[in-house]
Amino acid sequence: MRTVEHTRQGEVAQVLTLREEPRRPAPGPGPGRGEVLVRLLVRPVHPGDLVGVEGMPGQPELESEQQPEQQPEARIPGVEGMGVVESVGTDVHAPRPGQRVAVFPAPGTWSDFVVVPAALAVPVPDGVSDETAALMLVNPLTLRMLYRALEDALRGRKGPVLQTAAGSSVGRLVSAAADRHGLELINLVRSTSGAEKVRTLHPSQPVIATCDDDWQGQVRRHAGERGVQVVLDSVGGAITLELSGLLADGGTLVSYGQLGSGTTPLEALRLVARGLTVRGVSILHWMNRTAEERAQDVAFAQDLAQSSPDLLQVAGSYDLADFKAAVEHARRPAKSGTVLLTTPLTADSVQGAAR
Ligand SMILES: NC(=O)c1ccc[n+]([C@@H]2O[C@H](COP(=O)([O-])OP(=O)(O)OC[C@H]3O[C@@H](n4cnc5c(N)ncnc54)[C@H](OP(=O)(O)O)[C@@H]3O)[C@@H](O)[C@H]2O)c1
């Protein structure tokens, strides 16, 4: 059994290590009541996973509950993945051993095994590849949360809406949803080549590169005199001030990521004078939604994986042991899609799942 772990926050190459144990899975009681043990085959490298390892600049390290004299507790990155149910605890009627499932939220998926509540092990629809299944939950569920925030902010209007990092995996889902719903979306990317890629995928949507000196003027020409109603922003930092300047009075900035650097003081946004709203959206709050809403979201994700696997693009695949190369790829500029970490399915694992 292999596990990628860290005992302190810091640069990935310095703090993450691979622990290998001869036997599978780690000694312990196995899945408890209502839980399943999943033999993971594929898990993504999400930007949020790396924030968990490295921390946010300027923010304190994750709190630890142990005493100073104790060995620091090891943390395993990853919240999403797919695999095969190895065994189930008492009172679990579904999923069954041997079934393919996608898991989220499942802290610690950068390991060969994870234990999750049975309700969070989602059956992978027939015909969906393991790679697509590994990307089926986090980003599609984030899209659902963003879209809800968008609808709240638009109050029946169709836009215009501006999104940053439009070439990202989440950005591509937003663009596809805009095409589907007739949303007036303006896409921002940081490079001319990135703009070309988004333009090819969504020819009817304006795409503007922030490397152009007059990018804000270009946004204004597309949005009209009033400005945009909503900004969906995953870049943040220094660009926040310029984005807020593109909002119509009464508009909303939805912040859901921090790819950029620098900071913008809250006071600079003129929230009061312009009646602006700033709203944060995080997949970490998805479990706070009602069971019915979560079931609808999961059904949406399963349908998307079946009908539009091209929207869950894979940038590259690496064995779990090659996590450092995978992280380097995940951070490479101009990549398209998400990097995956894989575990080969061995004869032993097939027998294990059949037990
Ligand atoms: N709040 C949530 O719950 C949630 C959930 C999922 C994702 N997210 C966030 O959503 C964002 C995108 O995630 P993802 O998985 O879709 O990412 P991804 O597929 O890895 O794509 C990252 C994209 O960001 C662009 N980029 C990187 N640094 C940038 C910068 N400084 N300024 C502008 N663009 C930059 C890259 O463009 P180039 O082509 O120019 O290199 C690339 O298109 C991340 O911030 C992530 O944390 C948030």
Model confidence pLDDT, tens digit, residues 316-325:
999 999 999 9
Q: Is the CB of 333 under 6 A from ligand 1?
A: yes
Tell me how far the alpha carbon of residue 21 lies from the centroid of ligand 1, in angstroms: 34
115 and 26, same structural domain?
Answer: yes
pLDDT category of residue 25 using cuts at 50, 70 and 90: low
**Which pLDDT does position 56 carry in this prediction?**
75
180 and 121, same structural domain?
Answer: no
**Bridge partners, 17 (sequence order):** 5
Q: Which of 199, 255, 259, 284 to mutate to test the pocket of ligand 1 (most atoms within 8 A of CB)?
A: 259
**Which pLDDT does position 235 carry in this prediction?**
98
| Rounded CA separation 350/328 (Å) | 31
| Rounded CA separation 43/176 (Å) | 24
Structural domains in the chain (count): 2
Q: Which of 270, 226, 252 is nearest to 146 (CA)?
A: 252
Range of the domain at 255: 139-284
179 and 271, same structural domain?
Answer: yes
144 and 91, same structural domain?
Answer: no
- The average pLDDT across 265-272 equals 95
272 and 154, same structural domain?
Answer: yes
Q: Which of 284, 302, 320 is the last residue of a domain?
A: 284
Please state the atom number of ligand 1 nearest to the C-alpha of residue 44: 15
**Which pLDDT does position 349 carry in this prediction?**
56
Q: Is residue 293 part of a domain?
A: no
Q: Is the CB of 46 under 6 A from ligand 1?
A: yes
52 and 101, same structural domain?
Answer: yes
Q: Is the CB of 230 under 6 A from ligand 1?
A: no
169 and 60, same structural domain?
Answer: no
Count of Cβ atoms closer than 10 Å to residue 179 Cβ: 14
329 and 209, same structural domain?
Answer: no
Q: Is the CB of 104 under 6 A from ligand 1?
A: no
318 and 241, same structural domain?
Answer: no
177 and 104, same structural domain?
Answer: no
| Rounded CA separation 355/7 (Å) | 34
Q: Is residue 152 part of a domain?
A: yes
**Which pLDDT does position 27 carry in this prediction?**
56
CATH of the domain at 24: 3.90.180.10
Count of Cβ atoms closer than 10 Å to residue 122 Cβ: 21
SS3 266: helix
**Which pLDDT does position 36 carry in this prediction?**
98
181 and 56, same structural domain?
Answer: no
Tell me how far the alpha carbon of residue 267 lies from the centroid of ligand 1, in angstroms: 26
Using CA positions, which residue lies closest to atom 37 of ligand 1? 334
Note the pTM of the prediction, 2 decimals. Answer: 0.95
CATH of the domain at 269: 3.40.50.720
| Rounded CA separation 233/255 (Å) | 5
Amino acid at site 159: G
pLDDT at 212 over 50: yes
SS3 69: coil
The pairing of beta strand 277-280 with beta strand 247-255: parallel
Tell me how far the alpha carbon of residue 71 lies from the centroid of ligand 1, in angstroms: 34
Q: Which residue has the tokens 């695999």?
A: 83
**Which pLDDT does position 135 carry in this prediction?**
98
Please state the atom number of ligand 1 nearest to the C-alpha of residue 330: 20
Tell me how far the alpha carbon of residue 273 lies from the centroid of ligand 1, in angstroms: 31
- Asked whether the beta carbons of 307 and 280 are under 8 A apart, the reply is no
Tell me how far the alpha carbon of residue 277 lies from the centroid of ligand 1, in angstroms: 22
Q: Is the CB of 282 under 6 A from ligand 1?
A: yes
**Which pLDDT does position 68 carry in this prediction?**
58
Q: Which of 56, 80, 104, 234 to mutate to test the pocket of ligand 1 (most atoms within 8 A of CB)?
A: 234
The pairing of beta strand 35-45 with beta strand 338-342: antiparallel
CA 162 centroid distance within chain: 20
145 and 277, same structural domain?
Answer: yes
